[in-house]
């Protein structure tokens, strides 16, 4: 009999109806939606709305009769919960679980206490939730029993079942309640139906296109009734098998951690982006379907100092950024990933809470689908990912929290558990240490680059009658300051000087020697016009240093009629002269490096440059660069490039040498490379 609706009840019914309709919309937009079930549920909602309109003002059902019925149902309910061999759930009007029997807890693979207090639909997969909520609402409103298919998210794997729902009144409760009975477990919808008289397959059938997740064992299915008798006992997992599965899961998780250590540390140079993506890729391959990593950027400015990271307990996440979203290949495509990448971890979301509290969180069965935020299109992130189980751990190095790692699973292979949480926590620690090292490394690299830049001229001077160009490229390995330097400067007697040198070794000590050599040559040249004499005086200044320097210097006499270069070599590769027709010749080499001996000798030569001739100086990093077979670039390859670009603009010539060098060694420069060139220009027309 229809019941009369009070005004407060009508408002509540309308609010509940709006919420369920929105869920149905979201379900229809999910990948591979069950449109038939959604349509049936929508028709039920229309029927409920019509019933509500028709029963406004209707007479209240006989209270005494209903009381007698409620008392009868209460006795039946008590008896059923004690003796029924099938899984039973007692729900309140809003589908919250009040009580379950042992068979229902066994069906879900958990304890009765864990299930109580949670939303019933949280234990069902996402595609059936919206329709199931509407069915439950129909049972409450109409009192008619309903039956539907449900996929429960069991501990080890989904369990397909048929549930029967009925409304009951219990004395002392102001609202009706719902009793849900799970019938015999059916074969998963994606698998073949068993033959007549044959028990269902022992193991679950994975969803299309998805293999069982490694390390998440899939034991034989236990029937929904929970009684291991007859065929059910044959399909139950023995204690020995269960122990083997637990041990296998533990070993697999240890393997995941070992693999993570190798992946995160297998880098000659720590790279934050590489480490983060490797971590996400490992987790999606071995543990779950979706991984989201949010990180704080390093604090800018000198106040942070080397290696100082943002993010610590009590700080806000104003700069917490989503850096990686990674899902399995069979998940929705780039649109889903893009939507999640644009979704910042806002207050109220699980990543925000974990970051600010530095406390890990495990949600084996997600009840609040807004747990990870709502995308720009209004759809919850959990719905887009199909996530029914979520965990989130902080990325912290023991001192500071710099982000979070979030794992989301569809429950296809059981919900995420404490073992998964432990692995994720350890990976969060590993990743934090690698990021800390990478940011320290990056900071030191920035300091090295700045220091290296101070050892080179910011720009080369413009000299009438000639063109000059220089190029420096740092080695790709290490972050220490290199020892290469070059410079062009005025000399005594209205001449010009150019020098290129290479200090033995790298680092701050080498940088100090580099600065002394470069500035010593530049300063002494203001009073000494002879390159040999300048180098001899610099040698005296470097004798107390523990490093030696090779260098080549040219003193240039430039006028309208000629350009003369006086070369002095101190143990450096010889200068090269390239004619405009591509003819190449070496200047003399030799001499003793600077800073080794008090008895210093230098090799000298005077060269007359014709119009179009190019004087080319270079460090030994050009000749010593090696390919994968450890063959050196060498003089012949260098001369080929110079000859091929003899008439090209001077900077283009140097760039061509650099490109050929990088191609030859596949980008793996083991030493710094520096080049300095001067070309005599044609006399201007009067």
The gap from C-alpha 20 to its chain's centroid, in whole angstroms, comes to: 35
Going by DSSP bridges, is the β-strand pair 466-473/673-680 parallel, antiparallel, or unpaired? antiparallel
Average pLDDT on 435-454 reads 69
How far is residue 480's CA from residue 485's CA, in Å, rounded to a whole number? 15
pLDDT at 580: 94
Higher-pLDDT residue of 664, 483: 664
Strand (E) positions, 313-422?
321-327, 361-363, 389-396, 401-409
pLDDT at 35: 64
Q: For residue 195, is pLDDT > 60?
A: no
Q: Name 293's bridge partners.
A: 324, 405
Q: For residue 40, is pLDDT > 70?
A: no
Specify the DSSP element, H or E, that contains 181.
Answer: strand 177-182
Q: Is 20 exposed, middle or buried (0-12, 13-18, 19+ CB in 10 A)?
A: buried
Alpha helices in 208-238 (DSSP H): 231-235
Lowest mean pLDDT among 52-66, 171-185, 203-217: 203-217
Q: pTM for the whole thing? A: 0.54
Higher-pLDDT residue of 493, 79: 493
Query: Which of 395, 440, 439, 434 shows the shortest CA–CA distance to 295?
Result: 395
Percent share of the chain, pLDDT over 90: 32
Q: Name 626's bridge partners.
A: 632
pLDDT at 560: 83
pLDDT at 408: 93
Confidence of residue 663 (pLDDT cuts 50, 70, 90): very high
Q: For residue 218, is pLDDT > 50?
A: no
Q: Rounded to the nearest 5 degrees, what angle is found at the Cα of 159, between the Cα atoms of 111 and 105?
A: 15
Encoding tokens for residue 207? Answer: 């969803």
- When mean pLDDT is compared over 201-205, 403-407, 421-425, 544-548, the highest value belongs to 403-407
Higher-pLDDT residue of 311, 92: 92
Half-sphere exposure (CA, 13 Å, Cβ side) for 419? Answer: 19
pLDDT at 281: 84
pLDDT at 8: 64
Which residue matches tokens 């030799």?
590
pLDDT at 334: 76
How far is residue 339's CA from residue 342's CA, in Å, rounded to a whole number? 5
The gap from C-alpha 140 to its chain's centroid, in whole angstroms, comes to: 46
Higher-pLDDT residue of 85, 573: 573
Question: What's the DSSP call for residue 355?
Answer: H
Average pLDDT on 282-299 reads 86
Question: Is 79:172 a contact under the CB 8 Å cutoff?
Answer: no
- When mean pLDDT is compared over 247-251, 354-358, 423-427, the highest value belongs to 354-358
What would the pLDDT profile of 238-277 be if each residue is shown by its tens digit?
444 544 555 555 555 566 655 655 555 555 446 788 888 8
pLDDT at 659: 94
pLDDT at 215: 45
Question: What's the DSSP call for residue 115?
Answer: H
Encoding tokens for residue 136? Answer: 């439950």
Q: For residue 303, is pLDDT > 50?
A: no
Q: For residue 309, is pLDDT > 50?
A: no
pLDDT at 87: 86
Confidence of residue 210 (pLDDT cuts 50, 70, 90): very low
pLDDT at 82: 59
Half-sphere exposure (CA, 13 Å, Cβ side) for 290? Answer: 28
How far is residue 325's CA from residue 162's CA, in Å, rounded to a whole number? 36
Lowest mean pLDDT among 309-318, 349-358, 594-603: 309-318
How far is residue 407's CA from residue 210's CA, in Å, rounded to a whole number? 17
How far is residue 198's CA from residue 42's CA, in Å, rounded to a whole number? 36
Going by DSSP bridges, is the β-strand pair 158-168/389-396 parallel, antiparallel, or unpaired? unpaired
Handedness of CA 558, 564, 569, 573 (dihedral sign): positive
Mean of the per-residue pLDDT values for the chain? Answer: 78
Confidence of residue 69 (pLDDT cuts 50, 70, 90): low
pLDDT at 206: 37
Average pLDDT on 479-488 reads 77
What would the pLDDT profile of 494-527 be if each residue is shown by its tens digit?
899 999 999 887 766 777 788 888 889 999 999 9
Question: What's the DSSP call for residue 186?
Answer: P
Handedness of CA 309, 359, 370, 188 (dihedral sign): positive
Confidence of residue 6 (pLDDT cuts 50, 70, 90): low
Q: For residue 406, is pLDDT > 60?
A: yes
Query: Which of 38, 211, 22 shows the shortest CA–CA distance to 127?
Result: 38
Half-sphere exposure (CA, 13 Å, Cβ side) for 653? Answer: 31
Please name the residues in contact with 525: beta carbons below 8 A apart, sequence gap of 6 or more. Answer: 489, 490, 491, 492, 497, 534
Please name each of the domains of the chain with its CATH number: 7-182 (3.30.450.20), 245-446 (3.30.450.40), 455-680 (3.60.40.10)
Encoding tokens for residue 146? Answer: 């309903």
Integer Rg of the chain from CA = 39
Query: Which of 621, 627, 622, 616 shows the shortest CA–CA distance to 653?
Result: 616
Half-sphere exposure (CA, 13 Å, Cβ side) for 83? Answer: 6
Q: For residue 295, is pLDDT > 90?
A: yes
Distance spanning both ends of the chain, measured CA to CA: 114
Query: Which of 443, 420, 428 shows the shortest CA–CA distance to 394?
Result: 428
What would the pLDDT profile of 113-164 be if each residue is shown by its tens digit?
888 889 999 999 888 888 898 999 988 888 888 888 899 988 888 888 888 8
Average pLDDT on 387-398 reads 90
pLDDT at 302: 41
């Amino acid at each position: 009999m229809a019941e009369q609706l009070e005004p407060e009840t009508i408002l509540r019914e309308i609010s509940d109806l709006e919420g369920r309709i929105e869920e149905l919309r979201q379900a229809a937009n999910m990948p591979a939606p069950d449109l038939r079930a959604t349509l049936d549920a929508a028709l039920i909602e229309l029927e409920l709305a019509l019933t509500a309109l028709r029963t406004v003002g209707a007479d209240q059902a006989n209270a005494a009769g209903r009381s007698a019925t409620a008392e009868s149902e209460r006795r039946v309910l008590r008896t059923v919960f004690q003796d029924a061999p099938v899984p039973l759930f007692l729900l309140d009007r809003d589908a919250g679980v009040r009580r379950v029997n042992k068979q229902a807890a066994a069906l879900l693979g958990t304890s009765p206490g864990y299930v109580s207090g949670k939303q019933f639909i949280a234990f069902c997969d996402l595609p059936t939730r919206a329709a199931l909520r509407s069915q439950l609402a129909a049972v409450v409103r109409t009192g008619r029993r309903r039956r539907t298919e449900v996929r429960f998210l069991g501990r080890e794997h989904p369990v397909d079942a048929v549930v029967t729902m009925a409304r009951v009144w219990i004395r002392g409760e102001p609202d009706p309640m719902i009793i849900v009975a799970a019938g015999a477990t059916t074969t998963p919808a994606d698998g073949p139906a068993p033959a007549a008289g044959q028990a269902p397959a022992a193991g679950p059938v994975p969803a299309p296109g998805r293999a069982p997740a490694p390390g998440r064992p899939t034991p034989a299915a236990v029937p929904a009734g929970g009684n291991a008798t007859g065929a059910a006992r044959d399909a139950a997992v023995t204690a020995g098998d269960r122990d083997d599965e637990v041990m296998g899961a533990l070993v697999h998780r240890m393997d995941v951690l070992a693999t993570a250590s190798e992946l995160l540390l297998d880098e000659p140079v720590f790279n934050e982006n590489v480490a983060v993506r490797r971590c996400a890729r490992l987790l999606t391959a071995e543990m779950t379907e979706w991984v989201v990593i949010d990180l704080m950027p390093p604090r800018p400015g000198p106040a942070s100092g080397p290696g100082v990271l943002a993010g610590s307990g009590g700080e806000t996440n104003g700069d917490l950024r989503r850096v990686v979203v990674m899902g399995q290949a069979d998940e929705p495509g780039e649109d889903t990933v893009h939507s999640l990448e644009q979704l910042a971890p806002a207050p109220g979301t699980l990543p925000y809470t974990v970051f600010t509290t530095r406390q890990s969180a495990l949600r084996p069965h997600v009840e609040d689908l807004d747990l990870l935020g709502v995308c720009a299109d209004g759809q919850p992130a959990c719905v887009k990912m199909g996530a029914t189980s979520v965990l989130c751990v902080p990325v912290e190095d023991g001192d500071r929290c710099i982000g979070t790692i979030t794992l989301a699973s569809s429950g296809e292979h059981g919900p995420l558990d404490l073992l998964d949480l432990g692995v994720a926590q350890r990976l969060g620690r590993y990743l934090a240490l690698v990021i800390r090292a990478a940011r320290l490394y990056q900071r030191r690299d920035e300091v090295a680059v700045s220091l290296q830049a101070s050892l080179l001229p910011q720009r080369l001077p413009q000299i009438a009658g000639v063109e000059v160009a220089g190029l420096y490229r740092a080695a790709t390995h290490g972050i220490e300051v290199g020892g290469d330097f070059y410079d062009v400067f005025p000399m005594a007697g209205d001449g010009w000087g150019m020098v290129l040198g290479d200090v033995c070794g790298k680092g701050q000590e080498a940088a100090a020697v580099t600065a002394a050599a470069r500035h010593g040559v530049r300063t002494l040249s203001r009073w000494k016009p002879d390159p040999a004499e300048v180098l001899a005086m610099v040698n005296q200044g470097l004798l107390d240093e523990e490093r030696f320097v090779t260098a080549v210097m040219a003193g240039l006499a430039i006028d309208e009629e000629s350009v003369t270069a006086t070369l002095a070599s101190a143990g450096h590769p010889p200068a090269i002269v390239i004619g405009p027709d591509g003819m190449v010749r070496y200047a003399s080499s030799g001499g003793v490096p600077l800073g080794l001996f008090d008895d210093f000798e230098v090799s000298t030569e005077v060269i007359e440059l014709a119009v179009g001739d190019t004087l080319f100086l270079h460090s030994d990093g050009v000749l010593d660069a090696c390919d994968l077979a450890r063959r050196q670039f060498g003089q012949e390859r260098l001369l080929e490039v110079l000859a091929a670009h003899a008439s090209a603009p001077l900077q283009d010539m140097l760039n061509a040498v650099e490109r050929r060098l990088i191609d030859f060694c596949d980008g793996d420069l083991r030493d710094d490379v520096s080049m300095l060139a001067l070309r005599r220009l044609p006399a201007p027309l009067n």
